[in-house]
Structure 1
Amino acid sequence: MKKQDMGIKVLKGGLLSTIQDTGRFGYRKDGIIVSGAMDSLALRTGNLLVGNPQDEAGIECTLTGPTMRFEAEQLIALTGADLSAVLDKMPLQMWRPVLVKKGSVLSFGAAKSGCRTYLTVSGGFSVPKVLGSRSTYLRAEFGGWNGRALQAGDYIPFRERYHETLQDFNWSCDLSTLYPDLNDHVIRVIEGPEFELFSINGKQAFFEKEFQLSNESDRMGYRLKGEALKLERPREMISSAVTFGTVQVTSNGDPIVLTADHQTTGGYPRIVQVITADFSKLAQLQSGQKIRFELLTLAQAHAALLYREQQLKQLQQTLTFKYNHDI
């Protein structure tokens, strides 16, 4: 089979559909962002479900998903948000491998929960690595598929067609202990470097009041609306390192939660840092939703991440046995 006959034809691009892997590391010193999947847990799990390494690239579909036709038989998985996926007009079950026949059309409807779905395919997509990653860096227009979101007419080739002897996928994995409840909008955090610079009233408000995601939210960050947060006294800040989940507070007192396409440094005070174990819940929030924050110790944050990684390791071991090869 020719390479051009084994891939996905994009019929509709959706709101924002991009190729993403787990990120582009080692270049922040040069001003190049990490990027990568907003919900890396969903992407990593999807890759395991189709027998891939966890860092393989998939398609991140946002709210209004794309419509795509499969030009060859392929093993796929959908993870993350429930965007009412249908395959040939029949509801498609998520969080399990599905063998898709040549000519089948995958499309999406309304978002039932969450914001971002991940499509992974056996063997991954044949797109070049740029600086060690296949992730799309939208603002710089490189990586992924021509450095941009997918659009009608694009043809995304598979690196290989599914050809394993395993054809029976009448099974699924219990992910209740691994993936968070997307209806739970409590985001756990630890103190940030400038936490003590905020007033007592400001710190109390941060944890006792709800905040709403404004429409000014994207892959770079979420601007939150709520009670203004004040410093004890005005201060001049030197630009410092920031990362996924850093919560900065603007001069107007508005918190901004940085996400996958965040800048490498920032000049606003960093009140808290979202724990890594809650990045999935953060990534799946929709504009207009309300959230509140819960303060943890660093030890509690480490324990939450360790537990999640242990669950993911257990899933990897189970699927390695299922596919009869190392994943």
Structure 2
Amino acid sequence: MGIRVLKGGMLTTVQDLGRTGYQSQGFSVAGVMDVRSFKIANLLLDNPENEAVLEMTLIGPTLEFTSATIIAITGGDFQPQVNGEPVPMYTALYMNKGDILKFGSARTGSRGYIAFSSYLDIPVVMGSRCTNMKSGIGGFKGRKLQAGDYMNFRIKRRYLPFFLSRKLEPENFDQDQAEIRVVMGPQEELFSRQGIETFLGSEYTVTSDFDRMGCRLEGPFIAPKETSDIISDGIAFGSVQVPSHGKPIILLSDRQTTGGYGKIATVASVDIPAVVQRKTDQKLRFRAISVQEAQALYLKEIEELDAMRKIIHQPCKEVLDCRLVAKRLRKLFE
């Protein structure tokens, strides 16, 4: 009762919100790159907010289901197909035993998420099911998925209330340029006035040096007053480091726990998805906002997620069995 991996894709791992509380011991938080897409996937299935999902990067996996379940696919458009037929994203999908779920390369965005109503049977390690590939812990054997892997489900959950209304509008990751809002600091004082103006006034290009650890950008030199080196201190999700070469690096889920380069700014949490869904050669610009504005944006996102929850819970008096719903949905899509 679970899923068999026929193809692993480029980088498919088990992830949740991350392994917190262990950075002092050298373990990075890890966890999903696009928290918003992750939360929406679980929301569509009435899963716990932190239930583990599969995160795919650039090229998705091919999976075979050995039992019936319900899934939701969010994030970038990886052109999902079930048994060779295209299926919609951002909606609850019933999967039969024997169904083959196949993904292609990302048409938009660069990361996608698959949530499961039956919950992946992955051990909890230090409070999380997420994969930390650098340490080789968590997830499925501490590594990315590959052909031949098999994961069980923890429960049999094949029906959901209000199933027919479980559909949301897909997020838009198709923009060639993105504006990324940042809170300046904590070491902006290390950079010259001209350097800060360059950082906020220039266009930067995503390079191919972009992975779960960080995103290196190409663009104008950000000048320090003297040096941007510091005594190593802690690094937050979205910290923007500027090493001696003067090009910014946005640090992400698998970032190191500490670093010795000055951090000119930190990306507002609501804009991290826009960063991690970028592709090589796409552009972005930075705009400074206050801590209070960043907090207001975060609260607004919480309200948006609550509104989505209300949309998928449109009034419905019956609890529908998946097999019955599947027949109805097929008629809708014929």
Query: What is the aligned partner in structure 1 of residue 36 from structure 2?
Result: 41
Query: What is the aligned partner in structure 1 of residue 11 from structure 2?
Result: 16
Aligned pair partner of 2:259 in 250, 261, 266: 266
CA distance in 1, matches of 2:166, 2:132: 36
* 2:311 maps to 1:307: no
Q: Which amino acid aligns with 2:116?
A: V
Per-residue CA distance 1:247-293 (angstroms, 9 max, x = gap)? 00011111110000001111101001000111111111112211111
* 2:45 maps to 1:50: yes
Segments of 5+ residues of structure 2 without an aligned counterpart are: 320-334
Q: Give the secondary-structure state (helix, strand or coil) at the position aligned to 1:45.
A: helix
Query: What is the aligned partner in structure 2 of residue 81 from structure 1?
Result: 76
Q: Does the aligned pair in 1 maintain the 2:108–2:173 contact within 8 Å? A: no
Taking structure 1 as reference, are residues 279 and 56 closer, same or farther at Cα in structure 2, changes over 3 Å only?
same
Residues 55-70 of structure 1 mapped to structure 2, 5 A cutoff: 55-70=50-65
Aligned pair partner of 2:227 in 234, 245, 263: 234
Taking structure 1 as reference, are residues 35 and 149 closer, same or farther at Cα in structure 2, changes over 3 Å only?
same
**Deviation at 1:313?**
2.4
Q: Give the secondary-structure state (helix, strand or coil) at the position aligned to 2:112.
A: strand
Q: Does the aligned pair in 1 maintain the 2:206–2:282 contact within 8 Å? A: yes
CA distance in 1, matches of 2:184, 2:284: 18
TM-score by length of 2: 0.90
Aligned pair partner of 2:184 in 175, 178, 191: 191
**Deviation at 1:124?**
1.4
Q: Does the aligned pair in 1 maintain the 2:229–2:243 contact within 8 Å? A: no
CA distance in 1, matches of 2:107, 2:260: 37
Q: Does the aligned pair in 2 maintain the 1:182–1:284 contact within 8 Å? A: no
Q: Which amino acid aligns with 2:93?
A: V
Q: Does the aligned pair in 2 maintain the 1:44–1:54 contact within 8 Å? A: yes
Per-residue CA distance 1:1-31 (angstroms, 9 max, x = gap)? xxxxx11110001000000001111111111
Aligned pair partner of 2:106 in 111, 135, 152: 111
Taking structure 1 as reference, are residues 60 and 120 closer, same or farther at Cα in structure 2, changes over 3 Å only?
same
Aligned pair partner of 2:139 in 129, 138, 144: 144
Q: Does the aligned pair in 2 maintain the 1:88–1:104 contact within 8 Å? A: yes
CA distance in 2, matches of 1:31, 1:301: 28
Per-residue CA distance 1:47-68 (angstroms, 9 max, x = gap)? 1111201100000011100011
Q: Give the secondary-structure state (helix, strand or coil) at the position aligned to 2:194.
A: helix
> Paired residues, what number?
317
Q: Does the aligned pair in 2 maintain the 1:228–1:252 contact within 8 Å? A: yes
Task: Pick which of 102-111 and 219-228 moved more.
Answer: 102-111
TM-score by length of 1: 0.92
Q: Does the aligned pair in 1 maintain the 2:191–2:228 contact within 8 Å? A: no
Q: Which amino acid aligns with 2:296?
A: A
Q: Does the aligned pair in 2 maintain the 1:24–1:132 contact within 8 Å? A: yes
Q: Which amino acid aligns with 2:67?
A: A
Q: Does the aligned pair in 2 maintain the 1:51–1:319 contact within 8 Å? A: no
User: What CA RMSD, in Å, does the superposition of the two structures yield over aligned residues?
Assistant: 2.0
Query: What is the aligned partner in structure 2 of residue 215 from structure 1?
Result: 208
Segments of 5+ residues of structure 1 without an aligned counterpart are: 1-5
Taking structure 1 as reference, are residues 322 and 14 closer, same or farther at Cα in structure 2, changes over 3 Å only?
farther
**Deviation at 1:316?**
3.4
Identity score, percent: 38
Query: What is the aligned partner in structure 2 of residue 94 from structure 1?
Result: 89
**Deviation at 1:187?**
0.9
Aligned pair partner of 1:253 in 243, 246, 267: 246
CA distance in 1, matches of 2:128, 2:189: 37
Query: What is the aligned partner in structure 1 of residue 194 from structure 2?
Result: 201
Taking structure 1 as reference, are residues 193 and 165 closer, same or farther at Cα in structure 2, changes over 3 Å only?
closer
Q: Does the aligned pair in 2 maintain the 1:52–1:123 contact within 8 Å? A: no
Aligned pair partner of 2:218 in 202, 225, 246: 225
Taking structure 1 as reference, are residues 312 and 167 closer, same or farther at Cα in structure 2, changes over 3 Å only?
closer
